[in-house]
Amino acid sequence: MDDVAAVAGVSRGTVSRALRGGDKVSAAAMRAIHAAIKQTGYVVNRHARSLASRRSETVALVLCAPPARLGEDPSFNILLFGCVQALSEHGITASLSVVSGDAEFTKIREQLAGAHVDGALVIAAHPIASLAEELAAGGIPTVACGSVPCRSHRRPDPQQSLSLVSTDDQEGARSLVRYLRGSGRRTIATIAGPASTACGAARLAGWQDEVGADASPHLVATGDYTRASGHAAMVELLQRAPDLDAVFVASDLMAAGALAALHAAGRRVPDDVAVGGFEDSAVAITVQPTLTTVRRPLARISTEMVRLLLGQIDGDPPAEVVFPTDLVLRESA
Amino acid sequence: MDDVAAVAGVSRGTVSRALRGGDKVSAAAMRAIHAAIKQTGYVVNRHARSLASRRSETVALVLCAPPARLGEDPSFNILLFGCVQALSEHGITASLSVVSGDAEFTKIREQLAGAHVDGALVIAAHPIASLAEELAAGGIPTVACGSVPCRSHRRPDPQQSLSLVSTDDQEGARSLVRYLRGSGRRTIATIAGPASTACGAARLAGWQDEVGADASPHLVATGDYTRASGHAAMVELLQRAPDLDAVFVASDLMAAGALAALHAAGRRVPDDVAVGGFEDSAVAITVQPTLTTVRRPLARISTEMVRLLLGQIDGDPPAEVVFPTDLVLRESA
DNA sequence: GTGAAAGCGCTAACAT
DNA sequence: ATGTTAGCGCTTTCAC
């Protein structure tokens, strides 16, 4: 940097100012400096800059999920890459951590403490979301998405720098069930996700809202978001409620399993039984028949997370934003 | 850190030494220092450390792939998370970048130049592998995996700090085709990947090796690794070689498409036509019938990449390692 | 608008 | 084994 200053015939301070937006730098100096940079092939040292400015232009990207879902669940990846993309557009680097077990949990906690990142983005599938709250409590701007447990009706705590981005899964579920009913279905069962996950609970609640008085427990089977569990749940439902003519499934993957079970049982979809999924993941169009499902605006979620984080880093208060879902009509219902 | 030194009653230099392995530090001092650290809640500032030591304990993790494959291709993710995991075990942070187009390419290039990372891991699906060579040429220890084009029979260049980790796809293809032949198949067609990709070429070469004189062009159709292309290719093959009784497909996803086409054409699998895939991805067991395929040791690849990179950072020469594949027998052949 | 100077928090070479 | 010292490369007051 001294070289650049020398070549441009200015002081190091001016070069520094020129690099950071060029405020209070004359146009002539600006030109000379840029020329000098080109000539010398200069490139800033991020570590030195971070040390001096106390800003690292880096945010931690923390994925909380069991290893199995990491490789399998595409929505996870869309979120991940969406965040990386959005950050990159702001010239910010993402440092990636994965925490599936408690061991990594404490490890990450320590790592982040010393990492001096500007903020953290937490993408949580299973609720180690306490990580997010911990980070926020530790004073680092944090934005989480996914199933943050039981905060649904709490107002964001302005004391804590934790923002939340989620989708209105309950309303999404309602819209699908409403559609099923509207197209003449009478007995609408559901395959729910684990009650321990916020999204599992929300989607089940949406089904209940719409089905109302008909929401008897024998129309509910629970899976764990895997294809196999969806299959098993469908078999169970078919046995408990042979007269069902529709089923709302809390995830596309489980819906794929349900479809297979229905096929095996000789029920035609959608003629005999309508099937609705949730997520609009890749399987939704891979499956036969293609799946009517509820789409979550994954791309918007990731860009919104980044937007909120950047805002928080600049001092904005934390926020809680909820996106609506879209009903995607295909062949299965 | 001065606080810690004060509390422990030693100098800052000693604290620093204690932190980095405790060489040349008395046991008593060591104890005092650790106590002081606990008491003060001290945690090193990575930026300051990096600036002084010229080592960042961070490596760049670069994914080269079209956006579509990023979210879809699970092997990609397994590799990615495997690397993150392995790095984390060594206390190293991964800073993630995604480059799909040329725009990002130059952006990343600049970013990495100033990032002062200790090394780079390149996971390339489509061959922007020039990125890897460029990084290596720029003097940063680099390990790449995936389809690095046309280096197959070059010896690693010791001048360049670029290591390569790959699988022996050609032999993998041979083993599957050999198995098909061994189980009595006479006319073995193939659906190849794009000739522009190293793995596409290798898998096709393996098929040719085994089929030998029977390897006429009308038994070869080419896809682009998508399910749809596999379907189309199968339709084409069925038309060109109606008497085929086996087909080796260069990826599981394409094989899934082929299976659908065979089903539509009324051919039974494996009774009429045996089908073999490549990758052993999640679809291999999702599909009906489940897919006989060639498994690549993804987990080993990622740990080996990290091992090589760490070695290179410590001054080891670059290496080129090739892993064997496994034949996974299921229902389709 | 620009330069000079004082650090940011740490490591590493040297002296002891 | 430990203390001392000189930076690492940059930002940022503060005078001018």
Q: Are A127 and A193 in contact (CB under 8 A)?
A: no
Residue B50 lies in a domain: no
Which of B72, B115, B286 is closest, CB to CB, to A93? B115
Regarding whether A176 and A147 lie in a shared domain, the answer is no
Q: Give the tens place of pLDDT for each residue, B111-160.
A: 777 778 999 999 987 655 578 888 888 888 999 987 544 444 455 555 67
Regarding whether B186 and B242 lie in a shared domain, the answer is yes
CATH number of the CATH domain containing A126: 3.40.50.2300
Domain count, chain B: 3
Who contacts B121 (Cβ-Cβ below 8 Å, separation ≥6)? B59, B60, B61, B62, B83, B94, B142, B143, B144, B305, B306, B309
For residue B281, the tally of other CB atoms under 10 A from its CB is 26
Bridge partners (DSSP) of residue B321 are B165
Whether the CB of B17 is less than 7 Å away from nucleic strand D comes out as yes
Q: What is the DSSP letter of A107?
A: H
φ, ψ for residue B139, nearest 5 deg: 95, 5
B175: left (phi over 0), alpha (psi -120 to 50) or beta: alpha
Distances from the Cα of A72 to the Cα of A84, A301, B131, B281, angstroms: 19, 20, 28, 10
**Residue–nucleotide distance: A41 CA to D4 C1' (Å):** 36
- Per-residue buried b or exposed e for B13-42, using 16+ beta carbons within 10 Å of the residue's own CB: ebbbbbbeeeeebeeebbebbeebbeeeeb
* Interatomic CA distance for residues B171 and B326, integer angstroms: 10
In the structure, what pLDDT confidence band is assigned to residue A147 with cuts at 50, 70 and 90?
A: low
Regarding whether A91 and A176 lie in a shared domain, the answer is no
Regarding whether B291 and B177 lie in a shared domain, the answer is yes
Q: Give the tens place of pLDDT for each residue, A227-259.
A: 889 999 999 999 999 999 999 999 998 999 999
Q: Which residue is nearest to nucleotide D3 (CA to C1')?
A: B11
Q: Which nucleotides of D are covered by protein (CB under 7 A)?
A: 1-5, 7-13
Q: Hey, of A20, A47, A252, which one would you mutate to test binding to chain B, going by the most B CBs within 10 A of its CB?
A: A47
Q: Give the tens place of pLDDT for each residue, A73-83.
A: 778 888 999 99
Regarding whether B180 and B159 lie in a shared domain, the answer is no
Q: Residue A150's pLDDT is what?
A: 41
Rounded to 5°, the CA angle A310-B59-B81 comes to 80
Distances from the Cα of A88 to the Cα of A49, A58, A301, B13, B108, angstroms: 18, 10, 16, 38, 9
Residue B164 lies in a domain: yes
Residue B17 lies in a domain: yes
Four-point Cα dihedral B12, B14, B16, B18, nearest 10: -140
Residue B125 lies in a domain: yes
Residue B246 lies in a domain: yes
The pTM of this model reads 0.89
Regarding whether A243 and A152 lie in a shared domain, the answer is no
Regarding whether A173 and A291 lie in a shared domain, the answer is yes
Residue B48 lies in a domain: no
Regarding whether A96 and A38 lie in a shared domain, the answer is no
Q: Which residue is nearest to nucleotide C7 (CA to C1')?
A: A52
Whether the CB of B51 is less than 7 Å away from nucleic strand D comes out as yes
Q: Hey, of A44, A53, A57, A93, which one would you mutate to test binding to chain B, going by the most B CBs within 10 A of its CB?
A: A93
Q: Residue A214's pLDDT is what?
A: 87
Range of the domain at B84: 57-168+298-325
Regarding whether B217 and B158 lie in a shared domain, the answer is no
Q: Give the tens place of pLDDT for each residue, A12-57.
A: 999 999 988 877 888 888 898 999 999 998 989 999 999 999 999 9
Regarding whether A246 and A290 lie in a shared domain, the answer is yes
Q: Which residue is nearest to nucleotide D8 (CA to C1')?
A: B52
For residue A14, which nucleotide's C1' is closest to its Cα? C2
Regarding whether A112 and A199 lie in a shared domain, the answer is no
Q: Residue B152's pLDDT is what?
A: 47
Residue A249 lies in a domain: yes
Regarding whether B272 and B223 lie in a shared domain, the answer is yes
Q: What is the DSSP letter of A155?
A: P
Whether the CB of B12 is less than 7 Å away from nucleic strand D comes out as yes
Q: Are A113 and A135 in contact (CB under 8 A)?
A: no
Whether the CB of A101 is less than 7 Å away from nucleic strand C comes out as no
**Residue–nucleotide distance: B33 CA to D11 C1' (Å):** 32
Whether the CB of A20 is less than 7 Å away from nucleic strand D comes out as yes
Mark yes or no for CB contact A95/B97 under 8 Å.
no
Q: Give me the tens of pLDDT residue by residue for chain B, a chain 333 residues long.
A: 888 888 989 998 899 999 888 778 888 888 989 999 999 989 899 999 999 999 999 999 999 887 777 766 778 888 999 999 999 999 899 999 988 877 777 777 777 777 789 999 999 876 555 788 888 888 889 999 875 444 444 555 556 789 999 999 999 999 999 999 999 999 999 999 988 888 899 999 999 999 998 889 999 999 988 888 999 999 999 999 999 999 999 999 899 999 999 999 999 999 999 999 999 987 888 788 999 999 999 999 999 999 999 999 998 999 999 999 999 999 999
Residue A48 lies in a domain: no
Whether the CB of B52 is less than 7 Å away from nucleic strand D comes out as yes
| Chain A, nearest residue to B87 by Cα | A97
Which of A72, A84, A104 is closest, CB to CB, to B74? A72
* Interatomic CA distance for residues B165 and B12, integer angstroms: 43
